[in-house]
Amino acid sequence: MTFCASCGTALPSVPPVRCAGCGRTSYLNSPCCAGALVVHDRRLLLARRTIEPWAGHWDIPGGYCEPGEHPRDCAVRETYEETGLRVVTTGLHGIWLDPPGSSGSEAGTICVFYHAILAPTSAPDPFAVAGSSVLPAAGDPTGYGETSGIAWFEPSCMPARVAFPGSVPAVLRAWRTAVSQDHAPQPSADMAEPDAVPVTAAGSVRVRHPGRAE
């Protein structure tokens, strides 16, 4: 059952349909999401979700665009909200469609992904406090309750459990292809190294260093 967004009257059928209560025509459009493929030292930043859908799975930082918000700005904002890291986008990675039903949206979701790098740190990183290497707990009122951990993954070592199988695996495959062909932007040599040190996440999630003893 779908209801009119203006007056709450139950709609007689799936949109597009005219509301009998107020006369407004309701449409069913795909909302827009945006995410950031943040690369540092040739590794990709992923965040582990604490909320449904796909709680416990690794995801590309991102989320729904606010009204009037450019997807690029959304990707930067959501990445900060979910990981505490300030990033800047360096280019468009691509646009994917999460099919109806797979993303929690009955109309599916249009997902815009950007390449991004860590920003030259101008603002303090909330996770880089007193050498802390643990993220706030899920549900922590200080924020980041949607994320239980973040980690940096080598292109050859992607996690098995990823969120939103309708789009994220394809996005990650395209990213690995871009990296292997050296198409993915890298921080330039003259960019100041960010103060924010990649953190190891709660729950024994480790930064991946294949071939390096940990």
- Only one of the segments 5-13, 102-110, 114-122, 189-197 lies at the binding site for Zn ion (rule: CB under 5 A); that segment is 5-13
The verdict on 7 binding Zn ion (CB under 5 A) reads yes
Give the whole-angstrom CA distance, residue 63 versus residue 71.
9
- The least CB distance from residue 105 to Zn ion, in Å, is 21
Contact by Cβ (8 Å): 163, 54: yes
Select from 14-22, 46-54, 82-90, 193-201 the region that touches Zn ion (CB under 5 A). Answer: 14-22
Rule CB under 5 A: is residue 15 a binding residue for Zn ion? no
* Residue at token pair 């993954």: 153
* DSSP codes of every residue in 141-171: TTS-TTEEEEEEE-TT---S-BS-TTTHHHH
By CB under 5 A, name the one of 10, 14, 22, 197 that touches Zn ion.
22
Q: Which of 123, 122, 114 is nearest to 75 (CA)?
A: 114
Pick the binder of Zn ion from 3, 6, 10, 183 (CB under 5 A). 6
Min. distance of Cβ 16 from Zn ion in angstroms? 13
Nearest to 53 by CA among 162, 135, 139: 162
d(CA 98, CA 50): 20
Q: What are phi and psi of 20, to 5 degrees?
A: -75, -20
Among the listed residues 4, 75, 117, 168, the single contact to Zn ion using CB under 5 A: 4
CB count in 10 Å sphere of residue 3: 13
Question: Taking CB under 5 A as the rule, does residue 21 contact Zn ion?
Answer: yes
Among residues 18 and 176, whose Cβ is nearest to Zn ion? Answer: 18
Number of residues near Zn ion (by CB under 5 A): 8
Smallest gap, in angstroms, from Cβ of residue 12 to Zn ion?
A: 11
Interface stretch with Zn ion, choices 20-28, 52-60, 72-80, 201-209 (CB under 5 A):
20-28
Among 9, 30, 50, 102, the residue binding Zn ion under the rule CB under 5 A is: 9
